Copies of this chain bind each other. A is one copy, B any other.
Amino acid sequence: MRGPRLQDVAERAGVSMKTVSNVVRNHPHVSAAMRERVQRAIDELGYRPNVVARRLATGRTGFVAVAFADVAIPYFAELAHVASRRARDFDYRVLLEETDDTIEGERALIASSEAGLVDGMLFQPSKMSPSEIAQHRSQIPIVLLGEMPAPLTMDHVMIDNVAAAREITTHLLDSGRRRIGFVGHETTSLSETSRQRILGYQEALTGAGVRADPRMLVATASIDAADTAAAVRQALSDGWDVDAVVCRDDLAAMGTLRALHERGIRVPEDVAVTGWDDTRLSAVTFPSLTSVSPDVDALFTRAMELLLERIAGYDGAGRHEIAPHRIAIRESAPSIPAP
- List the interface of chain A (C-beta within 8 A of B): 2-3, 48-53, 55-56, 59, 61, 70-72, 74, 77-78, 80-81, 84-85, 94-96, 98, 100, 112-117, 139, 225-226, 229, 251, 254-255, 257-258, 261-262, 280-281, 283-286
Contact = CB atoms under 8 A, between A and B. Distances in A.
A254 B53 contact: no
Contacts of A139: 3, 48
A115 B49 contact: yes
Nearest to A284: B225
A258 B254 CA distance: 13
Given A48-B112, A70-B81, A258-B284, 6 more contacts: A50-B115, A71-B71, A72-B74, A74-B74, A225-B284, A254-B285
Number of copies of chain A assembled together: 2
B3 A115 contact: yes
Contacts of A74: 72, 74, 77
A313 to B, nearest CB: 8
Contacts of A251: 284
A91 B284 CA distance: 39
Contacts of A72: 74, 77-78, 80-81, 280
A223 to B, nearest CB: 12
A161 to B, nearest CB: 22
Contacts of A285: 254, 258, 285
Contacts of A77: 71-72, 74, 77, 80
A98 B116 contact: no
11 contacts: A48-B113, A52-B56, A56-B56, A72-B77, A80-B80, A226-B283, A251-B284, A258-B284, A258-B285, A258-B286, A285-B285
Contact of A255 (B53, B59, B85, B284): B284
A116 B50 contact: yes
B81 A116 contact: no
Contact of A49 (B71, B94, B114): B114
B286 A48 contact: no
B70 A61 contact: no
A291 to B, nearest CB: 15
Nearest to A59: B2
Nearest to A281: B281
Contact of A115 (B48, B78, B254, B258): B48
Nearest to A80: B71
A229 B284 contact: yes
Chain B CB within 10 Å — which of A53, A74, A115 has the most? A115
A262 B280 contact: no
